[in-house]
Structure 1
Amino acid sequence: MIARSRASLARAGSLLSRNRLRVAFLVVIVLSAAVVANASTNSLSTASAEDVPDAPPTENHTVVTESGRAGTITAYAPDGEVLYYNNTRTKYFDVDPVEGEPLTVEYTATDTIHSEGPTCSDPPCALNVIERANLSTGEVEVVYERYDYKETAGEWHDADRINETHVVVADIVADQVFVVNTETEVVEWLWDAQSDFPVEGGGAYPGDWAHINDVEYIEDGEMEGRIMASLRNQDQVVFLDRQEGLLEDWTLGAEDEYDIQYEQHNPDYIPESRGGPAVVVADSENGRVQEFQREDGAWTRSWEWSDDRMQWPRDADRLPNGNTLVTDTHGNRVMEINESGDIVWQVESTLPYEAERLETGDESAGGHSARELGLESRTAAESDDEGGDLFGFDPLGFVGDLIQSILPHRIYNGLLFATPVWIGPSEFAAIAIALLTGLLWAGLEFKWQLRDAGVRFRLPVYREGGD
C-alpha cells in the first residue's frame, strides 16, 4: 500500500514538473513570437511612392536606387520630399547625373522575364537597359538595351558615359567590360576578364564567376582615358588601358586577401588634382567603407569607417564638402558622414544599392582624398564604445550580436537578403531561441512518451557495482 502511494506521488510529481516545463517553453516561444510580430508592424517599405520615407533636408538633390525585393529609383528634393519615384523595372543599379541637365539622370536597370515568349524561350531571362530619366517631368528614354539569357548574375550593375555617343558597361553576364556606341549600337572595344584571370578562381564558373559590378571612365590625371573596373569575386579593383589591356601594377587587392577588401562594390576614383590617386570603395563583406592612397607605386589604406549598424555597404562617394555619401544595403539606410566621422544626414531605405548626390558631378566629382582632408578613421568597435550603455543590457541584442559574430559574414548577409527587411540581430535571436526551445520541448516530449510506455535505454557498456 505504501509502495503504491509512493509511486502515485512520484507520477504526480513527474507530471507537475513536466507541466511546469511545458508552460516555461510556451512562454519563451510566445515572447519570442511577440518580438518578431512587433518588429513586423514597424516594417520599412519603399514598395510605392506613398510608402517611401521623407529624407532630412540637404543643399542638393539625392537619388537612391534599390535592387532587392523592390526595384526602385527615388529622387529627393533638397527639402527632403520625394521628387521622383519609379518602380517600373525589376532592379535599378548605378545612377549618374547627365552633364548640362541638372535634373536628368542616367542609370542601369534590369527587367526579369519570367514567361516564355519571343525574347525568352527558356525563362527566366533578363532585359538589361541604360535609361535616361528627367526627374522633373518624369520622361524616361531608353539609351541602349540588350536581352540576356539568364537572370542570376545576368545584369549590368553599372555603365559610365565617356562622351555623348559612347558608354562603358560592366557586363556581369559575360564577365566583360565593353565600350558601345549607343547611336550605332556597335561595340567598339571589349575586355574579357578571362584574358587575365583564371576561371579556377573567383566564383563558380560559368554561374557567377567574376561579377564585374562597377566601371568608371577616368577623365583626369595620370590615368586619364583609362577604365577602372571592380571584379567582386576576385576581390580586386583593376585598371584597363584600351590599347595595353590590364595594367597589373595598378591592381588594388588580391583574391581571397580579405584583410584588404572582400567582395567590394562601387569604387570611386580620386585623381591627383584632388589629392589622389586614391580610391574610395565599399568593402562590402567586411562591413566597412575605406579609401586607399597610391604612393610609391603601391596602394596604402588611408581611411576606413564603420559603425555597429553597418552591414554590407555597396557604395561610397566623397562629396565636394569633404563628407562621404554611403549606401548601407543591409543596414537599410543611405547616410552622409562628415569629416569627423559623424552621421549628419540619413534616410531609411529597404535594400539600397547606390546613391548619388546631384549638383556635385558624376560620382561626386569634386571630392578630395582622405589624406588631403585629414580624415580620421573610425571602426565599429569605436562606435560601440562611444554609444554604449553600461546599464541598459539588451539580452536579445546580445544574442543577436553573438549569432552574427559566429556565422560567416557571407552566410549572415545571405540570411538578411532572404528575410524581410525588418529582421535584425534581435529578431534573429528571438527566432533562434524559439526554434531551439521548440526542438528541446519536442525532444523531451518524445523522451517522456517512451518512459511512460516503459521503454528504457541503457549504454552498451556500463559499470556494474561501485566502490
Structure 2
Amino acid sequence: MDGETADSSPFDRIRSRVTRRRLRIAFLVIVILCGAYLAYGAVTGVTTATEDGVPEAPPTENHTVVTESAKFGTIIAYAPNGSVAYYNNSHTKYFDVDPVEGESMTVEYVATDTIHTAGPRCQDPPCARNVIERANLTTGEVTELYARYVPEENAAEWHDADRVNESHVVLADMVDDEVYMVDTETEMIEWTWQAQSEFPVEEGGPYPGDWAHLNDVEVLNDGRVMASLRNQDQVVFIDPETGMQENWTLGEEGNHDIQYEQHNPDYIPEEHGGPAVIVADSENARVQEFQREDGSWNRTWVWSDERMQWPRDADRLPNGNTLITDTNGKRVIEVNESGDIVWQVELSHPYDAERLGTGDESAGGQSATALGLDSRTAGDDGGGGGFSLGIFETVSDVVRGLLPSRVVNAIIYVGPTWMGRPEFGAAAVAVLTGLTWTGLELRWFLRARGITFQSPITRDERN
C-alpha cells in the first residue's frame, strides 16, 4: 500500500501525501494568484488623480458634486447625463462641499494644502493651509473666502464649515478642538465653543495630537449648532449663548454599539419628521438614523451591504432616497426607500457628496420614521446591490473580524488608491501564505542541520 498500513488513520494518510515539494507548489500557486489579482486591480482600478481617470456616472436628474481627500484631493461635478462637468485638483485635500443658496451651479467647500517647503509661513515643514472657497461649476471661477495657516500637518485640517449668512460661517476647527463663528469679511471671531470645556483630555484620541477630531458642524434653524466629535463617538448640540446641551448628546465615549468614530451627521427638523439625525457610522461600516423621542435618541434606521467599508457621508434626498459616500468602498451610491442601490459611481477615495437642487445636505429630505423606511443590512437578501462575495472578499471578512476596524481602514486608506476590500483580502492571503511558507522553510532548514526546539510544556508520565 505504498508505505501505508491498513490501520493507519486518515490523518496519517493525508500527511504522507503532503510532501515538501507539494507544499511549495501550493504556496507558490497561492502567491501567484494573489499577485495576479492585485495586478489586475492595479490595472483596472479607478484613479481620479487626473481628470482623464474619472469614470462617467449613471444618469440622474441633477448635478452631483463629490470631494476626495487621501493621497490626492479632487472636487468633481457630474452632469445629469453622467459626464464630468467640472474637475479641480488644485488642493491637497477637499472635504465638505455645500451648494450656495440662490446661486445656480455654485458651491462652497473647505480644502487643505500641505506645505512641504520651508518659508516665512512654514518654518518647520510640513505645515498646512486651510481655506474656504466658492466655485462656479459652469465658469470655473474660484473665489477664496477665508484661509488660515497651521504650523503642523497631523490633524490640522478643517473638515467642515457651515454658512450662517453672506458674511459669517461656523467652522469645525480640528486644530484647536473648537467650534467658532467668524466674519469672513473682517476675519473677526465672534464666538467660540471649546471641546475641552465639556470633555476630559484623558478620553478621545491622543492629546495634544488628534484628540477630538471635530469633523462636522451644522447650523440649525433654531440657532443651535450641531457638531461631530469623532474621537469621542458623540454628536453634540451647542447653544452659542449657554454652551453644550448635554441632554441632547447623541452617543457615548467608547460605546461603539451606538456609533463608532462617526462622520457628517445631518439634522432633520421636526417639520420633516424629526428631530432626527442621519449619520455615517464609519468604523461600524453602516449608515444609521436616530429619532428624538421622549427626550432620548432611538435608532430607527440602518443601512449597509457586504461592500460597505468606512462610509463618511449620508444625505436624505427629497425623493426619499439616501446619497451615501463609502470612502474605503471606493464609491458613491444612492439607495432608494426599499434599500436597493439605484445609482453608483466608482471613485478613488470619496469624502463628501452633494446632489444639487435638493437642498443643503439633508435639508430637503424627511426622516426615516416619516418615510416608513425599513432597515437593511449586509445579511439581508439583495443588500449587496449586486455585489457578490468571492474568496478574497471572504478572507477580507475573516481578517476584518480579527483586526480592529480602525487598523483595516488605516491599511486601505494608506494603501494604493485602487486597493479596496477585495484587494485587501488578496494582500492578506499573500502575506499569511508568505509568512507560513517562510516559517516552514526555516523549520525544515534547522531540522536538516539537527537543530530542534522542545516545547516548554511536557507531560508528566508518573501519573
TM-score (norm 1): 0.90
What is aligned with 2:120? 118
Q: Deviations over 1:219-267 (max 9, x none)?
A: 2xxxx11111111111111111111111111111111111111111111
**Distance in 1 of aligned mates of 2:150 and 2:88:** 23
What is aligned with 1:278? 276
Q: Deviations over 1:311-364 (max 9, x none)?
A: 111111111111111111011111111111111111111111000111112114
- Structure 2's unaligned 5+ residue stretches are 1-15
**Distance in 2 of aligned mates of 1:218 and 1:235:** 21
Distance verdict in 2 for CA 1:31–1:194, change over 3 Å: same
Matches within 5 A, 1:218-297: 218-219=220-221, 224-297=222-295
Q: Could you tell me whether the CA contact under 8 Å between 1:107 and 1:132 is conserved in 2?
A: yes
Q: Could you tell me whether the CA contact under 8 Å between 2:376 and 2:383 is conserved in 1?
A: no
What is aligned with 2:63? 61
**Distance in 1 of aligned mates of 2:371 and 2:439:** 61
What is aligned with 2:95? 93
What is aligned with 2:297? 299
Q: Deviations over 1:84-133 (max 9, x none)?
A: 00000000000011111111100000000111111100111110000000
- Structure 1's unaligned 5+ residue stretches are 1-13
Correspondence 1:340 to 2:342: no
Cα displacement (A) at 1:139:
0.5
Cα displacement (A) at 1:166:
0.4
Counterpart of 2:380 in 1: which secondary structure?
Answer: helix
**Distance in 1 of aligned mates of 2:457 and 2:78:** 73
**Distance in 2 of aligned mates of 1:460 and 1:58:** 66
Counterpart of 2:105 in 1: which secondary structure?
Answer: strand
Q: Structure 1: which amino acid aligns with 2:308?
A: M
Q: Could you tell me whether the CA contact under 8 Å between 1:161 and 1:168 is conserved in 2?
A: yes
What is aligned with 2:436? 440
Distance verdict in 2 for CA 1:387–1:192, change over 3 Å: closer
Distance verdict in 2 for CA 1:459–1:108, change over 3 Å: closer
**Distance in 2 of aligned mates of 1:107 and 1:261:** 26
Distance verdict in 2 for CA 1:453–1:292, change over 3 Å: closer
Distance verdict in 2 for CA 1:276–1:439, change over 3 Å: closer
- The higher radius of gyration belongs to 1
What is aligned with 2:214? 212
Distance verdict in 2 for CA 1:78–1:239, change over 3 Å: same
Distance verdict in 2 for CA 1:379–1:164, change over 3 Å: same
Q: Could you tell me whether the CA contact under 8 Å between 2:266 and 2:361 is conserved in 1?
A: yes
**Distance in 2 of aligned mates of 1:386 and 1:431:** 22
TM-score (norm 2): 0.91
Q: Percent identity?
A: 64
Distance verdict in 2 for CA 1:354–1:464, change over 3 Å: closer
Q: Structure 2: which amino acid aligns with 1:359?
A: G
Counterpart of 1:102 in 2: which secondary structure?
Answer: coil
What is aligned with 1:378? 376
Q: Could you tell me whether the CA contact under 8 Å between 1:356 and 1:363 is conserved in 2?
A: yes
What is aligned with 1:29? 31
What is aligned with 1:400? 396
Q: Structure 1: which amino acid aligns with 2:302?
A: E
What is aligned with 2:54? 52
Q: Structure 1: which amino acid aligns with 2:340?
A: D
Q: Deviations over 1:142-194 (max 9, x none)?
A: 00000011111000000000001100000000000000001100001111111
**Distance in 2 of aligned mates of 1:381 and 1:463:** 46
Q: Could you tell me whether the CA contact under 8 Å between 1:307 and 1:383 is conserved in 2?
A: no
Runs of 4+ deviating beyond 6 Å: 384-389, 459-466
Counterpart of 1:404 in 2: which secondary structure?
Answer: helix
Matches within 5 A, 1:82-161: 82-161=84-163
Deviates more, 1:119-128 or 1:428-437: 428-437
Q: Structure 1: which amino acid aligns with 2:440?
A: L
Cα displacement (A) at 1:298:
1.1
**Distance in 1 of aligned mates of 2:233 and 2:456:** 53
What is aligned with 1:170? 172
Counterpart of 2:287 in 1: which secondary structure?
Answer: strand
Q: Could you tell me whether the CA contact under 8 Å between 1:308 and 1:384 is conserved in 2?
A: no
Cα displacement (A) at 1:459:
6.5
Distance verdict in 2 for CA 1:462–1:184, change over 3 Å: closer
Counterpart of 2:53 in 1: which secondary structure?
Answer: coil
Cα displacement (A) at 1:21:
3.4
Counterpart of 2:40 in 1: which secondary structure?
Answer: helix
Distance verdict in 2 for CA 1:464–1:146, change over 3 Å: closer
Of 198, 204, 207, the residue aligned with 2:200 is 198
Q: Could you tell me whether the CA contact under 8 Å between 2:285 and 2:311 is conserved in 1?
A: yes
The aligned length equals 446
